[in-house]
Every structure is written in structure tokens, then in C-alpha cells.
Amino acid sequence: MKNHHIIVFFLISLFLIMNLGRFVSCTEEKKVYIVYLGEHNGDKTLKEIEDHHCSFLHSVKGTTTSKEDVRASLVHSYKNVINGFSAVLTPQEVDMISGMEGVVSVFHSDPYEIRPHTTRSWDFVSLLEGTSLLNSREKLLQNASYGKDIIVGVMDSGVWPESSSFSDEGMEPVPKSWKGICQEGVAFNASHCNRKLIGARYYLKGYEAAVGPLNETRDFRSPRDVDGHGTHTAGTVGGRRVANASAIGGFAKGTAIGGAPNVRLAIYKVCWPVPDQSLADGNACATDDILAAFDDAIADGVHVLSISLGSLPTSTYYTENPIAVGSLHAVKKNIVVSCSAGNDGPTPSTVGNVAPWVITVGASSIDRVFSSPIMLGNGMIVEGQTVTPIRRRRLHPLVYAGDVEIRGITASNTTGTCLPGTLSRNLVRGKVVLCGNTGIQASMEVKRAGGVAAILGNPFNEIKVTPYLDPTTVVFSYSLATILTYIRTEKNPMATLVPGNTLIGTKPAPVMASFTSKGPNVVDPNILKPDITAPGFNILAAWSEASSPLKMPEDRRVVKYNMQSGTSMSCPHVSGVIALLKSVHPDWSSAAIRSALMTTSTMNNVVGQPIKNATGDDASPFEYGSGHFRPSRAVDPGLVYDATYTDYLLYLCTQNVSLDSSFSCPEKIPTASNLNYPSLAIANMRGGSIRSVTRVVTNVGKDNSTYVLGVSSPPGYVVDIVPKRLHFSKLGEKHSFNITITSVQRRNDFSFGWYTWSDGVHVVRSPIAVSSA
């Protein structure tokens, strides 16, 4: 009997050793997945919906798994509009569920895939309206009642409710259409919502299922914002008028105001700190949490969704991206969705949020700089820019970083860039250091090594300012070369930084930001993205007082307003204007509003020249889409290109995607370029080939009007449009026209042109992008 026990023990031990790796592997393979089922038909109670979702899990986890364990694996159950759920599953369970009846798609909820795209701007926007429209901004606000009955949902990192930008003083009662809640949590209760911030929710289940429990020393388990990004975007959309607002040091001082100052804001906190990283490194926004926020926002009754989040799109974008999927449900309910284009420029094919049912916004500058010159020892003044408070100092010795590095620590391609730990204390102490890098780490490295100030080089023709901790200014590359020449030719080079000040009216402006993500659209180059550009460069707005200007542990400063740059900042500019357009034209569809914004935009800067990009070249529609938005012109666009939910489902047929089981693709599917979009893109036009598409415009201008065609064909192509005149006898009348493009010269790159319809008052312009590749 004793030997029998020994043998049994040996066999069990051997079995465990042989299978331990497999057991551990299965455990490690469990991840959060979203099971997308389409849309609810309204015939089930909330409990029945959750039971139905759990039935899928029971089927794959087996009868031996208890109901309690099944429900424990369920993360989100989407019960309002979106039908689906998220759960902790193994790859084997995912395969089983994917084949079940009614399942549209199953995809991984990645908490790191989607991240945030991180005053004077409204005055600058008015300049681009034209000299006869200098008061257009105020007229639009008055006509729209400052957006008072429009509800904008902001999906981001939360809100700092105490900010003056979210005061409800003098505001009317909350609209009766609002069905949302003010979700309480840590440091956030019902009193933090008011007639301005009418609702707030937070979404943490997906984040915690993926990365573990929230570190509550780093963020609030509530809608309260510890980062600042969400507060900034919400304030840009609809912040109240706040006099004497400024960044740290008094820069950009003036009246802070949002795009629609009386709009109602609903906050949906979906982004949280990345474990073991600083807030400056970005946030994590779990895919299934975002989809849950969409489900609630649609049911809550928002009119507009402002989403300054995104990721680089992949081939599974239309079936697995929560913003693409969620926004399609929103647009079906006529909610307008505005999204940031991304901050991965100037690399081509990086534009995100490319679904044709959302408005995709690039970023450009305004006519404001923060001048902080450098005075050299020979009396020469070199232009620099900063929002770092600097006290006037005497001249100090000036050195180039490449000459004062620790020997042998840098490579040829990194020398002179002031990387952490590279500068010699003995050679830097008490000196001004010239660095060929603009990062915060360069300024901090000069300080670590004992330098009194840093001069950083910028390769682009616009400077994204940073509130550095220590005296620092940034210069253009040509100025960097001038200073370096001075260092090389002067026996005792000296320099001092002059305190900065705010300058208004600089020209030319706007300039496309270097970081703004560019087309062509990598998912489908036959849809031109981005759609439009708006101010997103050095934008002042409300900030979280739990954060700091730099969002770094070393920065202990607290501010009420902060300067930020990114398409995250340009997106809420457009969202605020959408709210105003919604107020003036409550019967317009989401597509009509997008069309109005796009076809009335401008490709020119304030001096009437083509908008430039960050390297000084003429920008293209792959950077600005249709152009820089002009809100007051968008109120009266003349004609609009409308589209319906069914049109978008038909477009998805061209991508071999089905997101609605009630819709069947026709046998003959039109090309993607045939979607009734305000811009036109056609890829893969082989030499000598001909492509034809159709567009339909709706008259929203005036009765008895005639529009005449104007065309500028892209180089290498001939564009012919028939008919060349469109006559409308009444409002709401529709007319179609055919566009034929003939390739007369093979071009591997995209070529750009445009066409317009004009009745002498309205100019309805659409960009064209064509490529043989």
C-alpha cells in the first residue's frame, strides 16, 4: 500500500510538472474582450439583457462554472442602445463566442491603444471670416443663444468642477431632455454638478480588469480630473466667460471663453493613469470603458460628443475601434461626433478617427506668440519664445551642449541635445547652455548640471511653448545656427534671456502644427481625412488643480488655467461650434453640419496666402482637410452634402463590413468614393483610366437660386462635372451631379484640386485628392 501511494504521488507530480506551463499559459492568456451584438430592439428589460449576455458566457465556460463565476467574468453589459458586453475570456472562449448566432464581432479591449491626443483662439477664428465679418463671432453666439439648450458630452479624463469656467451663474434650468446622472465618487458628489455641468460619470471596470486596481493615490475613483486634459477640453468646448485668465507667469492674459459658453456639459471619464508612468506620459483609456460611455451618452440625451482620444487605425478599424463603432450608433440618433485627428505628424498616413460619420479635426496655430529674446554679449538680439517666467539677469557665459558633455557618453547623432546625464557639472555650472533639442528633459538636464538657463532649438516654423521649471527659451533652427556661430567665433561668448511677453497679430497664421496627423487615410484612401483644421496650438483653457502645468512629479506648481497643444485642443473648438450650429439649425443632420463646416472653410491664411505647414511649404488637404473652419459662414453654407445612417451602412459594404444585421448589402455595391461626402478622394487611378462618381446637394440657402460650377483639376487629371449649373426653386430641394475624372498622366503620389458651386453669395467648395497608386 505504501509503494502504491508513492507511485500515485509520483504520477501526479509528473503530470503537474508536465502541464504546469500549460496551466500558467491559460491563466496569462485571459484578457478583456468586447462581444459586439449590434443594437437593442427594445423588447427586453435590463435584467433580461444582462441574462442574455451571461448566457453567452455560460455556453463557453461550461456547465461546471457557477453563475457567480460567470457574472464575475462579466465586465460591462451594454444595455441602453449598444448591444454587447465585455468579459474576461481566453482565446479559446473567444473563438467559440465568435461563431455564435447574433455575434457581429469579438475584439480585445486594449487599455493602451486609445489615448488622449494631447482664449485668443476665438478672436483669431473671427479674423479668418473676412473683414466684413469681424463681429461675426458675437452674432453667431447671439443667434444660437450661446448654445443654452444644447448638451455636449465630453469623453476624456474627467473634470475639475470648481473651475470658474464651469460656473452656472445666470444659467437657465437644466433642459428637460436630459436623462443622465451625476455619479458620485471620491471627492465628487451631486453638488459638483450644476446647470452648467449637468452630468458626470466615470468608467473604471475595463481599466481595472486589464491592469489591476486603480492606484487611488494617483487618481480619484470618480469623475474628478487629476490629469487636466479633460478639464481643458471641456473648458474649450463650453467654458463660461472668465476675465483675466492667464497661464503661469501671466502669459496669454485675457478673457477665457469656450466655443459655446452657455452649452450644457456632460462629463464621461474614461481615461486613467498608466501604471508606473507619470501623467506626462499619457493616459490609458480602455476600449470597453469607452464603448460603455457611448452607450450611456446616447441614452442620456447628448446632442454632441467631443472626443479628443484616438489611436493609429488598423485594418480592423470599423469592427474593433470603439470610437468608430460607438459613434455610428450615436450618428443614427443624430448625435454629432467630433474627434481629434491625432498627434503623429508630420508622418504621412497617421490620421486617426477616419470613420466618414465623424468629423475629424487637425490642428493649426493662431496669431499669438510668446516672445522671449536672447541678448548676446555682442549686443545682438535673437528671437526666442517661452511661457516660462524669467527674471532679468546679467550676462552669463554661453556654451554649446556638445562642447560640455561628459566625454564618450553621447553618440554622433545625439551630441549637443542635452540628454539626461550627459552634461558635465564642471563645464556647465553658472553658464547658459545651447541645446539642439526642445524637450523638457533638456531643460532639466541643464539645471541638473548647474546651468543658469537653457536655449533650446526647434526644427519647425512654429514653437509649441512649454512652462519649463527653470529659465528656458526656444529658438528656431536658423537662430540656433546664428547662436552657434557666435559661440564659435567669439572668444568669451555671453548671453542672457529677456523676460517673455505675449504678442498678438503675428503673421502669417494659421500654420499647420508639426504634430497634426496626416493623410492619406490608411483604412480607406477613398475617404479624405482629416476633414478640417482648427486652433490646437498653444491653447489656454481651464486646468485641474490636482495636476501641474507639466504633469510631472518634479513640478509642484498649481494653476487654474494652462497652455496645451494638440489635436485634442482643436477638436473641442469644432465641438463648440457644432453646438451653436445645432442650436440655430436643430433639424440639420450630423452630415449636414459636417458639410456646412467643411464647404465654408478656407485654404488661406489671414494675409490671403495658402496655409503653410510646419516646414514652410504649402499645406495640403492631407493636413487641413477642407481647410480652416469659419463658424459664422457655416451657419449659412448655401448647399449641403447630406448622408443617412443607411448611406454609412452601404459604405461599409465597400469595406466588407456589416455592423447591422437588419441591413443587407446589395448585389452591386457602389464604390467607396460614391459616399455623398463633402470632399472627394479617389485612389488607384491607373494611367488613362476614367472614374465617375455622383454627388447630391441640398439647398439650405434661399429659394430660386442658381449655382455655377468652378473647377481646378488636380495636376495629371482632368475633372469634368455635369451639369455645370444647378437651379433650385425652393429650400430643401435636391440636385445630383456627376463627376468624371480622367487620368492623363501617371502619378504615384496624390494630386490635389477642388471644385465649387457658387450663387454669387455662397461659395460651396470641396477638395479633390486623386492618386494612381
pLDDT, one tens digit per residue, over 535-558 is 999 999 999 999 999 998 899 999
Angle at 164 between CA 158 and CA 166, to 5 degrees: 50
- 130 pLDDT tier (thresholds 50, 70, 90): low
Percent of the chain exceeding pLDDT 70 equals 93
Q: Rounded to whole angstroms, what are the CA distances from 142 to 138, 148, 155, 583, 601?
A: 6, 10, 27, 11, 21
How many distinct helices (H) and strands (E) make up the chain? 19, 37
Q: How far apart are CA 432 and CA 698, in angstroms?
A: 62
Predicted local confidence at residue 404, as pLDDT: 95
Residues in the chain: 773
**pLDDT digits over 660-714, tens only?**
989 999 999 999 999 999 999 999 887 668 999 999 999 999 999 999 999 999 9
* Residue with more model confidence, 754 or 72: 754
- 118 pLDDT tier (thresholds 50, 70, 90): low
Catalytic residue set = 156, 229, 568
**pLDDT digits over 266-279, tens only?**
999 999 999 988 88
* Residue with more model confidence, 18 or 288: 288
Say if residues 97 and 106 touch (Cβ distance below 8 Å). Answer: yes
Q: Does the N-terminal peptide bond of residue 322 adopt cis geometry, omega within 30 degrees of 0?
A: no
DSSP-assigned letters across all residues of 235-277: HHHHPPPEEEE--GGGTT-EEE--SSTT-EEEEEE-EEEPTTS
- Distance of alpha carbon 165 from its chain centroid, rounded? 21
Predicted local confidence at residue 123, as pLDDT: 61
Buried b (16+ CB within 10 A) or exposed e, 73-104: bbbbbbbbbbbbbbbbbbeebbebbeeeeeeb
Say if residues 25 and 95 touch (Cβ distance below 8 Å). Answer: no
Beta-carbon contacts of residue 508 (< 8 Å; ≥ 6 apart):
605, 606, 607, 609, 612
* Residue with more model confidence, 65 or 336: 336
Write down the pTM of the prediction: 0.92
- What are the DSSP E strand ranges found in 276-373? 283-285, 304-307, 309-310, 336-340, 359-364, 368-371
In terms of DSSP H, where are the helices of 557-628? 567-584, 590-599, 621-624
Q: Residue 318: name the closest of 720, 649, 766 by CA.
A: 649
The DSSP bridge partners found for residue 285 are: 114, 271
Predicted confidence (pLDDT) at residue 450 exceeds the cutoff of 90:
yes
